[in-house]
Chains A and B, each alone.
Chain A
Amino acid sequence: MRLSFLSSALTVLTLTSAVAQSADRSRSPTPPRNPGFAAPGTNERNPGPMPAPHQANSADQVFILEATRAGHAETRLARLAEQNADSESVREFARQMFRDRTRTNDALNRLTEGEGIPASDRSDPERHQTYDALSNLSGPEFDIEYLRLQVQAHQRMAQLMEYEIGSGSDAEVQRFASDGLPKIFIHLAMAQQLLDRVSMRNLQIAAAPPRKVSGMPTPQTPRADSN
């Protein structure tokens, strides 16, 4: 039942962005914002006090920045996992992530160009560290750490998208977030289920404390007591 739901969920996922089943879920204009939190100097549309479109506020900018960085990092990790993963199901999952992530990254790039929002290309040292650490692993340990990272990444992206939907002001960015969110939940469920399966097959590895590669990076230096 689970696998058939997953495979049909994948079918749904490929169709999702194009299909509107009811008036309720059709493409509707961006929901209104609380104008109290609009960025200072927000331009007004003519006539009247309504804000002009394509006004990116700080929530939009934070979202774009994080989504871009996450997108690039995820693509790299997916590529790594395609090559290094121990089990075929994890490699297949990584291939799926690579395909979907590439598509999303392209859409995001088009969006940032179209909206004139600069997406940072500043290097992301935390994610580089994660990549390097992961590439030092192999076997089932790699699979488990990669899947743990995937679960965290998708949880984080879901919350970021919801933050954008609730607090952003640029209609196109919000549409990007609200269109992409269902897929994130599908991927999250896939990652969780796969992690469960791989963990059960490799209990000893799964039961060990999480590696530094998963979760918050711990500051190496300086230590708090050396201030």
Chain B
Amino acid sequence: MPRFLSGTACAASAVAGSILALSWAAFPDSLPPGASYRPLPTQPFSAVRATDEAEKPAVMRRQAELLRSRYDLSDRPISDVFMSGKRKPVQGGVRVKLPRDVTWDMLAQMTPDAIAEGDLLPAGFMPLPHVKQATGGQVFPNNQIDTIKDREARSLRRFDVDFDLPDHLTPEFPPPIYLTTHPELGDVSQGNLLTIKNYYALMVGILTPVQLEGMRLLLTPFPQEEFNQTEDRKVVDQSLGVACLDCHANFHTNAAFHQTPDVRPQAARFRLDSVSLRGMFNQRIHGSKRSLRSVEDFTQFEQRTAYFNGDQVSAQRKGVNLPNRSDQVDMMAQMQNIIDFPPAPKLDPLARLDPTRATQRELAGEKLFLGKARCAECHNPQTSFMDNEMHDLKLERFYQPGQTVNGLVMLPDGPIKTLTLRGIKDSPPYLHDGRLLTLADTVEFFNLVLGLRLNQQEKDDLVAYMLTL
């Protein structure tokens, strides 16, 4: 018998047991269910809308102040460097702001403990909050909202929040589309955003019936947490919902963001930047945290996750889409698996720079990438600049976790998927939550996190190299 159940305790415990049974209702040792499950709304829709609209300017101002305090948001393109569609320049320069009286070189000399104790980690390296953390949900950039409204008469505009990043720090729109099945054609988008209204006319004769059906499903709106027909929505009119390509525009990204479905409670849910779908064919794990093993899995489960925050209970109420695995999901996956990376004319077939085409700076950058800068240890050129692994960068060595910023608690990120660098100049902002605005920011970030002690020339060379990928 366990030691603590002595003679008198036995009788007492019988009484205690009945008290315990009664107090079960007050979740004696469990956290409240609302910490995991989405509560049902308690206010009528008109009241919610009125409050959200009244608060919206303050919400946007608050996020704008945060962004300004963390980053230099100015429009400073690198001269003569454009994204793959040749319509939008690539932004340059380090944008993350340093604390007062601190330089990058000083930080590079300090230990992580010293940086944490001095509270010296640049704020722009910390997790980036959603524009309205308590509500969360998918937030679309204006170019996507305006185009879909125009072509489909479907509204993606929320009445409680707007997109927060300046347009020049986001991908070109609409992004070009490259197909592995037609490398000879180049960009097949014809300068259009793919929608349910135009995809057939654009793609018949180029795609197979299976791929066309997959594309149709990827362009069909389905109910989503904030875009649905119940009172628990953030769009004015009852909505048909959101399509996969509303975030993954033209199978790339338009920088729409939401919150991770994989974390609770709400204040702990980090922001997620939409990832590009280019090069899915070579990726073994999908999702920054979920490590789903196939794009079929991801496609099938995304309705539960990005759409409904990992809450199948809420999904059931609003209208869950359960695509048929053996038929619909397969077709969607097959369409996603033929999206190619953009051309990289300076790379040879083994993903190495062709010395007859690359500049000295780019070649120097590649040498660093493969050597001193240690990038290739995870971003392996042979494996499409990935390693099909998740890694924990342990950024929490550099700060004390637990502070709350705009409603998001600054927690350790934990292991995150290595994301591809092919076509990387086309998909700012960077890292899973978009906290790094330019490639120069990513170099400074990893310089610190990996303790590389790169000099300025080396940092510039790495950026030059990454622009060729």
Contact = CB atoms under 8 A, between A and B. Distances in A.
Q: Do A and B come from one complex?
A: yes
Interface stretch (B43-51, B297-305, B306-314): B43-51
B13 interface: yes
A166 B267 contact: yes
Nearest to B58: A32
Given A24-B69, A49-B47, A166-B407, A159 B35 contact: yes
Interface in A44-58: 48-51, 58
Contacts of A33: 134-135
B17 interface: yes
B271 to A, nearest CB: 14
B28 A162 contact: no
Interface in B133-185: 133-135, 160
A220 B17 contact: yes
B269 to A, nearest CB: 8
A32 B31 contact: no
6 contacts: A36-B43, A37-B42, A37-B43, A163-B32, A183-B402, A220-B13
A129 B16 contact: yes
Interface stretch (B19-27, B324-332, B381-389): B19-27
A73 to B, nearest CB: 12
Contacts of A213: 4
Contact of B20 (A19, A25, A62, A220): A220
B21 A35 contact: no
B70 interface: yes
Interface string B253-292: 0000000000001111000000000000000000000000
A8 B247 CA distance: 45
Closest 7 CB pairs of A and B: A220-B17, A166-B266, A182-B402, A31-B407, A166-B267, A178-B404, A35-B51
Contacts of A37: 39, 41-43
Given A33-B134, A166-B133, A216-B29, A125 B47 contact: no
- Measured as residues with beta carbon below 8 angstroms from the partner, the interface class of chain B is 35 or more
Q: Which of A8, A162, A178 has the most CB of B within 10 A?
A: A162
Interface string A1-42: 100110011001000100101111100110111111111101
Interface majority SS on A: helix, strand, loop or mixed?
helix
B413 interface: no
Given A35-B47, A35-B48, A126 B54 contact: no
Nearest to A220: B17
A94 to B, nearest CB: 20
Contact of B4 (A133, A162, A165): A133
Interface of B: 2-4, 6, 9, 13-14, 16-21, 23-24, 28-29, 31-32, 34-35, 39, 41-43, 47-48, 50-52, 54-55, 58-59, 62, 65-66, 69-70, 99, 113, 117, 119, 123, 126, 132-135, 160, 231-232, 265-268, 400-407, 409
A212 B400 contact: no
A118 interface: no
B110 to A, nearest CB: 14
Contacts of B9: 132
Nearest to B118: A21
A50 B43 contact: no
A193 B29 CA distance: 24
A25 B47 contact: no
A116 interface: no
Contact of A185 (B6, B35, B48, B400): B400
Contacts of B17: 219-222
B134 A5 contact: no
B403 A182 contact: yes
Interface in A105-163: 125-126, 129, 132-133, 136-137, 156, 158-160, 162-163
